[in-house]
Structure 1
Amino acid sequence: MPTIIEVFGVITGFLCVWLAARNSIWNFPVQIVSVLLYMVVFYEAKLYADMGLQVYFLFMAIYGWYFWINRTEQDTKIKPVRRITRPILMMGLLVVVAFTILFGTFLERNTDAFYPYLDSLCAGGSLFGAFLLSRRILENWLVWLVVDVIYLYLYLSKALYLTTLLYIAYLVVAIIGYRAWKKNWENHYKK
């Protein structure tokens, strides 16, 4: 049975991703509320990598909120969408693999974590996806598609059914977000 905290986490989590897909800077304050709620949900589900990931998401929400705003003397506007570079891609993949191995091993040896390596893989992919999102890099949505598919299995295994539904919605929003951001990128760089 879902808790009230999970219900509000699902609502704010969906709203946050929907706002990000629509290029709304308001995704960041909503994300702050969502991550605070999900810290509790994941602690109770013994998904410690995901719980710790929420701390990172909290800092990335603050950082992203700041980065998205390009303050000039004339006005305030949101920075344009960019594409990933090869060095960022290679570094991101390396970090995800290293994080998965190191943190998965730590969780396996020191906690009662459920699927420590799979949880760590999802957390590592989420670290990379959140970084790309905060920097307004288009390919963040592709990272989220992969991570969200894996999370579906993990959350179904823990009977977090509302959260599973949320991640199905995240998959749809990631597709919408990718298309919208790609259009934004194309429009900006055709000028």
Structure 2
Amino acid sequence: MNWAEAGFELFGVHVLWTDLVGNIAALATVLLAIRKSIWTWPVQLTGSVLLLIASISAHITGNALKQVMFGVLAVYGWWKWARGTQGGQELAVRPATGRERLGLVAAMIAGTAVVGVLFYLFKLSWAANTPGIEGYALVAADAYIFVGSAVATWAQGRALVDFWIIWVAVDLVGVPLAFSSGLVVSGAVYGIFFVLVLIGFANWLKEYRSRALLVPKEAV
């Protein structure tokens, strides 16, 4: 067994260290994002690399591609937040404009349709071999989670308060999908993410409103 497959047995299941530490890093990423820490991005990048290794080891191509996407977006977000905190200034968060929100929704809809077709045709989704309508629905849900995660991370990089709402929309599908598929641990992790996302949204929105009251004429 090589280092990428190293792990331990838990209730008769082999748990990869890369998978465990990668998911811990993913949870840490959300906690750091709530605090607007620049460490959000290097931790996310590290988690993405570990989960990429775990996915390749488990031969889960679709999830491996998702981790590559998260890694690229982590570099983008790191760069954007570094620029936004130059000179020691605090990262300024803001709601998306009407045009930006329209773009986010359009990206979610169009992206889910395109990625769903690709996932099904190239068997990149874990549900691609499920027959009938159920298979189509599961692949669509998988594509929705994939695209929603990408859109949310991009919006996070731009310090948009709305990115938390996108994560809520993703988790509303991800939590029941995981439990209905028998992935209890994944469902529990999604549930933890859901609670943290609600806390993050409340914190960012409160901060934006406080700043808007202090500087009412500030351009956002």
Per the normalisation by structure 2, the TM-score is 0.77
Task: Give the aligned partner of residue 152 of structure 2.
Answer: 129
Structure 1 gap segments, 5+ residues each:
none
Task: Give the aligned partner of residue 101 of structure 1.
Answer: 113
Residue 101 of structure 1 and its aligned partner are, at CA, apart by 1.2
8 Å contact kept, 1:68–1:78: no
Q: 1:187 to 1:45 in 2, by over 3 A?
A: farther
Q: Give 1 or 2 for the bigger CA radius of gyration.
A: 2
Distance in 2 between residues matched to 1:166 and 1:108, nearest whole Å: 26
Amino acid at match of 2:21: F
Distance in 1 between residues matched to 2:150 and 2:113, nearest whole Å: 14
1:12 aligns with 2:25: yes
Per the normalisation by structure 1, the TM-score is 0.88
Q: Percent identity?
A: 23
CA displacement 1:108-151 (0-9 Å, x = unmatched): 12216223221111111111111111111111111101101211
Higher relative contact order (CA 8 A, sep 6+): 1
Task: Give the aligned partner of residue 5 of structure 2.
Answer: none
User: How many pairs does the alignment contain?
Assistant: 188
Amino acid at match of 2:169: V
Deviates more, 1:152-161 or 1:108-117: 152-161
Distance in 2 between residues matched to 1:58 and 1:112, nearest whole Å: 19
Residue 160 of structure 1 and its aligned partner are, at CA, apart by 4.0
Amino acid at match of 1:37: L
Deviates more, 1:174-183 or 1:160-169: 160-169
Task: Give the aligned partner of residue 179 of structure 1.
Answer: 202
Task: Give the aligned partner of residue 35 of structure 1.
Answer: 48
Distance in 2 between residues matched to 1:15 and 1:45, nearest whole Å: 26
| 1:95-174 mapped onto 2 (5 Å cutoff) | 95-111=107-123, 113=125, 114=127, 115-157=138-180, 159-174=182-197
> Could you say what the CA RMSD is over the residues aligned between the two structures, in angstroms?
2.0
